[in-house]
Structure 1
Amino acid sequence: MIRDDIKAALVTAMKGGEKETTGTIRLIQSAIKNRDIEARTGSAPADDDALVVEVLQKMVKQRRESIEMYEKGNRPELAAAEAAEVAVIERFLPRQMDAAETAAAIEAIKAELGATGMKDMGRVMAELKARHGAVLDMSKASAAVKAALA
């Protein structure tokens, strides 16, 4: 499980004296704990790793947006710190689908659902997220689905 990998990495980072890595992993654990608390009110997730991957993807997205803002604001030192956090977080994410795999998955779903135009984009996106949400950047996938249905 990804949670176990995160705990083991925290112990290793603490023993190795890696302060930045230790801090980032603690942020990850905190975000996961917050998500667990939110999930208590709803239904329990079917797959714990899916919940953790969702949290990690959200953290990476937030940091990439921050990097962009810092670069625009001419703050390279802050952008570098955020990039270092992204590198630590991405160690725990499963390998992401490349463009060819994404296109193949979209075509398979499109054929299966009989999707022909933009009116079917919502159905295709929902199915794509259900099947491949953990290994796919949905913002990039959205553009690919739009291109495939156009």
Structure 2
Amino acid sequence: MALKKQLLTDLKAAMKAKDKVRKSTITLIRAAILQEEKDKQIDDLEDSDIEAIISKQYKQRKDSLKEFEKAGRDDLIEQTKAEMAIIEDYLPKQLSPDEIGTIVEDTIQEIGAESMKDMGKVMKAIMPKVKGKADGKVVNQIVREKLN
């Protein structure tokens, strides 16, 4: 719940500073959090749940950025990059590919996975360990490399 309070404090600061991009980005994040709370009928989400929502917001912008670059929309590219930079402030430090590789190797040994048939078991065991700290696509790619 500390993260939720931090977002509110930062929203107030952005409003005072008349920082439109930061204000709108934080407002969208807070709206996503409120929607999730209403959907689950919970008063306050845990920080880990809020981090997952923020991570999802970041991923959406990352996907949009690729499309904007294909379309040559420089105005939207700059805005999206600015929003991503703001969102990164609220995400936990992301794991490097080497750190993910170490976690993958340890998990493969724990489970005793030997081939691609064990991919589902490995992913199921790894994802809770790296939740919010690594992109699932990157983890999937590294698991594939290690199992081949």
Letter of the structure 2 residue corresponding to residue 75 of structure 1: R
Partner residue in 1 for 2:3 = 2
Give the Cα separation in 2 of the matches to 1:123 and 1:4.
37
Cα offset for 1:106? 0.5
TM-score by structure 1 length?
Answer: 0.91
Letter in 1 for 2:117: K
Question: What is the CA–CA distance in structure 2 between the aligned matches of 1:86 and 1:72, rounded to whole Å?
Answer: 18
**Ranges in structure 1 where 5+ consecutive residues have no aligned partner:** none
**Worse-matched range after superposition: 140-149 or 1-10:** 1-10
Q: 2:104, 2:5 → 1: CA distance? A: 32
Distance of 2:114 and 2:5 partners within structure 1 = 43
CA positional deviation for 1:66: 0.9
> Identity across aligned pairs (percent)?
30
Q: Does 1:81 align with 2:73?
A: no
Is the contact between residue 5 and residue 92 of structure 1 (CA under 8 Å) also seen in structure 2?
no
Amino acid at match of 1:3: K
In 2: Cα distance, 1:88 partner to 1:114 partner: 41
CA distance in 2, matches of 1:99, 1:76: 30
- Structure 2 residue 117 is matched with structure 1 residue 116: no
Q: Tell me how far apart the structure 2 counterparts of residues 25 and 51 of structure 1 sit (CA, whole Å).
A: 16
**Normalising to structure 2: TM-score of the pair?**
0.92
* Mean CA deviation greater in 21-30 or 126-135: 126-135
8 A contact 1:109–1:124 mirrored in 2:
yes
Q: Distance in 2 between matches of 1:102 and 1:10?
A: 33
- Name 1:27's counterpart in structure 2: 28
In the aligned structure 2, how far is the partner of 1:120 from the partner of 1:134? 23
Residues 42-89 of structure 1: CA distance to partner in whole angstroms, max 9, x if unpaired? xx7xx7112111111111111111111111111111111111111111
Deviation at 1:12, TM superposition (A): 1.4
- Aligned-pair CA distance for 1:37: 1.9
Query: How many angstroms does 1:16 deviate by?
Result: 1.5
Q: Which residue of 2 aligns with 1:143?
A: 141
RMSD: 1.3
Q: 2:67 aligns to what?
A: 69
Alpha-carbon offset, residue 39 of structure 1: 2.2
Distance 1:128 1:80 in 2: 34
Q: Name the SS for the 1:134 alignment partner.
A: coil
SS at match of 1:135: coil
Aligned mates of 1:60, 1:115 — CA distance in 2: 32
Task: Name the counterpart of 1:95.
Answer: 93
Question: Which residue number in structure 2 is paired with residue 37 of structure 1?
Answer: 38
